[in-house]
Amino acid sequence: MTVHNIINYPSYLKEINNNNFKKIENEISKIEENINFNNIKPSELDINLEELLKNGVEKINEPQNILDEKINNFLIGKEDLHNVMVAAENARFTIMFATKVRDKVIEAYETMMRMQI
């Protein structure tokens, strides 16, 4: 995405992105406030990776499902174009965010694999 494309986005799409980033930052801050990392023992970190990934994929897929529903409603005249475009931007943002997270996880894994023991 070029700077030219970002400048030409309608203002409401910029607001959606800014609001989503602010919501994510607020949620992360709330989680960090509630966790005391110094008192966590490894035995308390019983995380089922399969379930975690499955829930994550479902959450990522949710905006796409909403977009599909809005597109179908738009085609039959029950939804206006503005709501479809907002849903499309939300789905795009979600996929973009998930891709960035995936890239960071892969980068962390590759860094660990390069470590000398």
Residue 6 has pLDDT above 50, yes or no: no
CA pair distance 68, 87, nearest whole angstrom:
9
Residue 17 has pLDDT above 80, yes or no: no
Per-residue pLDDT of 61-116, as tens digits, reads 899 999 999 999 999 999 999 999 999 999 999 999 889 988 998 998 899 888 88
How confident is the model at residue 82, as a pLDDT?
93
Please give the mean pLDDT across all residues of the chain. Answer: 77
Per-residue pLDDT of 28-71, as tens digits, reads 776 666 666 566 666 655 677 778 778 888 888 899 999 999 99
CA pair distance 31, 52, nearest whole angstrom:
17
Global pTM?
0.53
DSSP per-residue string spanning 47-93: --HHHHHHHHHHHHHHHHHHHHHHHHHHHTTSS-HHHHHHHHHHHHH
- Among the listed residues 23, 14, 98, the one whose alpha carbon sits nearest the alpha carbon of residue 57: 98
How confident is the model at residue 15, as a pLDDT?
55
